[in-house]
Amino acid sequence: MSKIELVAPCHFGLEAVLKKEILDLGYEIVRVEDGRVTFAGDEDAICRANIFLRTAERILLKVGQLHAVTFDELFEGIKALPWENYIPSDGKFWVAKASSVKSKLFSPSDIQSIVKKAIVERLKGVYSLQWFPETGAEYPIRISFMKDEAVVCLDTTGLSLHKRGYRTMVSKAPIKETLAAALLMLTPWHKDRILVDPFCGSGTFPIEAAMMAANIAPGMNRSFTAEKWTNFVGRKYWYGAIDEANDLVDDQIETDIQGYDIDGDIIKAARQNAREAGVDHLIHFQQRPLSELSHPKKYGFIVSNPPYGERLEEKSHLPALYTEIGDRFRELDSWSMYLITSYEDAEKYIGKKADKNRKIYNGMLKTYYYQFLGPKPPKMNRQEKQ
């Protein structure tokens, strides 16, 4: 296969983090748009992107792009695409998702129906078939319209990439693994620095941090839809990417990553999730209330997803909670703190204005990533640690 374009969706506001990840993997960026990054690659890139990228939601193989303001234009545009390059005669194919923003064609169900019919017509002529058994591998299709321009893709991933395979137990309001990884990447935290999450819930921040520290690829222990696309993505590419990931793992490192929660059952769940991820030996989980947040060492990091108070009965507790967060933080000399929350009065009750504030959409919920930056450790100390 010649060079292909791959589209990696991500959380709105975190495109730059994903772009850096893709560049670090060695691929060329084609374009960066709201909520997605397009890059150039080959068969190997399909495998490596799915296994190594921490902040992408999925990896889509771009089949084509077209302009359509009528269903006739959509039908002809879809029919003109080279579907036979990807879908074999026994392939099972359907339009898994259709979305439309500021476009004349806006009905997802109608778009899905037209796209399916157009692909069938195309493949009828290629394979000389009137009926398709669809007993083979699955080829889910995604089409997204923006201002009458449609991007048409095959989904190589299947279950979203935030499904790492380790989180078997979750807390009430878990943060997605992909979002947690991106937020960690927005900090200067490094594996030789202290990291504490005082509202760790099911352990996502500490686990993602430990996986980064040990260089464990997030997709090592799960499967992907494109693994069965042997008609154009050979098994050797998957084997090669997994071998590469295994060679990079270093889980014998020493870390100081801690997760606290007031709920003992949630702490048990976090420990179980960490075991599933293979990083339980790198994290210290403890049942501990916020009032007992303290640490003797300097230059540490708090990275957390504190309660938002989305239910009305919880909102009355937020001023006291965020006041206590501020009090605990002031006691941690030289530390930095990073909080993601939808609570707009967070700075007011913490008692300090954030050095940086980034707006991030967590699904449809607008949240803020408040960044309170502590001093850098003396260079001498950093050299001593190495």
329 and 275 assigned to the same domain: yes
In a domain, 226, yes or no: no
145 and 213 assigned to the same domain: no
76 and 12 assigned to the same domain: yes
In a domain, 245, yes or no: no
CATH number of the domain where residue 201 is located: 3.40.50.150
99 and 181 assigned to the same domain: no
Tell me the CA end-to-end span of the chain in Å, nearest whole number. 44
Q: Is residue 127 a contact partner of residue 84, using CB atoms and an 8 Å limit? A: yes
To 5 degrees, how large is the angle CA 17–CA 23–CA 26?
A: 150
Residue 200 confidence (pLDDT):
96
Q: pTM of the prediction?
A: 0.94
In a domain, 240, yes or no: no
- Count of domains in the chain? 2
CA 46 – CA 58 distance, rounded (Å): 10
Kindly report the three-state secondary structure assignment for every residue of the chain.
CCCEEEEEECCCCCHHHHHHHHHHHCCEEEEEECCEEEEEECHHHHHHHHHHCCCCCCCEEEEEEEECCCHHHHHHHHHCCCHHHCCCCCCEEEEEEEEEECCCCCCHHHHHHHHHHHHHHHHHHHHCCCCCCCCCCEEEEEEEEECCEEEEEEECCCCCCCCCCCCCCCCCCCCCHHHHHHHHHCCCCCCCCCEEECCCCCCHHHHHHHHHHCCCCCCCCCCCHHHHCCCCCCHHHHHHHHHHHHHHCCCCCCCCEEEEECCHHHHHHHHHHHHHHCCHHHEEEEECCHHHCCCCCCCCEEEECCCCCCCHHHHCCHHHHHHHHHHHHHHCCCCEEEEEECCCCHHHHHCCCCCEEEEEEECCEEEEEEEECCCCCCHHHHHHHC
In a domain, 168, yes or no: no
Residue 380 confidence (pLDDT):
61
CA 119 – CA 270 distance, rounded (Å): 45
Q: What's the pLDDT tens digit per position in 301-320? A: 999 999 876 655 578 899 99
In a domain, 160, yes or no: no
In a domain, 128, yes or no: yes
What the block records as the tokens of 308 is 């938002």
Host domain of residue 125:
4-155
Q: How far is CA 55 from the centre of its chain?
A: 4
190 and 304 assigned to the same domain: yes
Closest by alpha carbon to 163, among 208, 222, 106?
A: 222
CATH number of the domain where residue 80 is located: 3.30.2130.30
CA 181 – CA 14 distance, rounded (Å): 11
53 and 109 assigned to the same domain: yes
72 and 196 assigned to the same domain: no
182 and 291 assigned to the same domain: yes
89 and 196 assigned to the same domain: no
192 and 337 assigned to the same domain: yes
What the block records as the tokens of 313 is 């009965």
In a domain, 250, yes or no: no
Order the strands of the 60-67 sheet from edge to edge.
Answer: 28-33, 36-41, 4-9, 60-67, 149-155, 138-146, 92-101
182 and 115 assigned to the same domain: no
Local confidence pLDDT in tens for the 386 residues of the chain: 568 999 999 999 999 999 999 999 999 999 999 999 999 999 999 999 999 999 999 999 999 999 999 999 999 999 999 999 999 999 999 999 999 999 999 999 999 999 999 999 999 999 999 999 999 999 999 999 999 999 999 999 999 999 999 988 776 667 999 999 999 999 999 999 999 999 999 999 999 999 999 999 999 999 999 999 999 999 999 999 999 999 999 999 999 999 999 999 999 999 999 999 999 999 999 999 999 999 999 999 999 999 876 655 578 899 999 999 999 999 998 999 999 999 999 999 999 999 999 999 887 889 999 999 999 998 865 444 44
Give phi and psi for 255, each to the nearest 5.
-135, 165
Q: Do you know the residue count of the chain?
A: 386
In a domain, 235, yes or no: no
To 5 degrees, how large is the angle CA 29–CA 34–CA 39?
A: 15
69 and 135 assigned to the same domain: yes
Q: How far is CA 377 from the centre of its chain?
A: 30
